[in-house]
Amino acid sequence: MTFIPKNIDTRATELIKIQAKQLVDFNKFVVEFQYNLQKIQGLKVTDPKEQLFIDLMQAVVVKVEPDKYPFTITLFNYKDQYIFEYDWKTDIFWSHYDKIWILFETKFTMIYQDWQLFILNQVEKYFKHKPLTAETAS
C-alpha cells in the first residue's frame, strides 16, 4: 500500500506557485542581464584584463533554451561558439576553458583562483549580480 499524504493537493499547488515565481524571477533576470550587456557594448577601460572581459562580451548572442537548458543563459561569440553560461538555479557562471580561461592564463599569467575572483567581480560590476562561483568547462 502506498502512503499518500492528506495535504498532497495543497503541496502540489504550492509547488506550482513556487515554480511559476521562479520562472518569473528568471525571466526578469534575463531581461536585466541583456540590458546590462548592451550597456557595456563598445566600452573602453584602462585595465587590460577588464578590457579583455568587455571585449569578449562584444557582439555575443544570448540564448535561453528553457526546454533544453532550464534556467540557463548561454552566451555565444560571433562564430556561434559557446563562451559563457550562467546557471541561475545553481548560481554558477561558467566559462569555456579553451576560448576564455586560456586567454587570461596566457596573456596575464593568472592562476585559476585569481581568474575566478576576477570573473566574479566583473560579472558583479557589469551585470549587477555576483554568482556563487565561477568555473570552466570545455
The cell numbers describing 17, all together, are 506557485
Domain extent listing, the chain: 8-137
The cell numbers describing 104, all together, are 587570461
* Backbone angles phi and psi of 15, in degrees to 5: -65, -40
Give dist(CA 86, CA 82) in Å, integer.
Answer: 11
Q: What is the pTM of this model?
A: 0.83
Cα–chain-centroid distance for residue 136? 12
Pair type for strands 61-63 and 92-96: unpaired
Beta strands in 1-138 (DSSP E): 61-63, 72-76, 82-87, 92-96, 133-137
pLDDT tens digits in sequence order for the chain, 138 residues long = 666 667 767 777 777 777 888 889 999 999 999 999 999 999 999 999 999 999 999 989 999 998 899 999 999 998 999 999 999 989 999 999 899 989 999 999 999 899 999 999 999 999 988 888 888 887
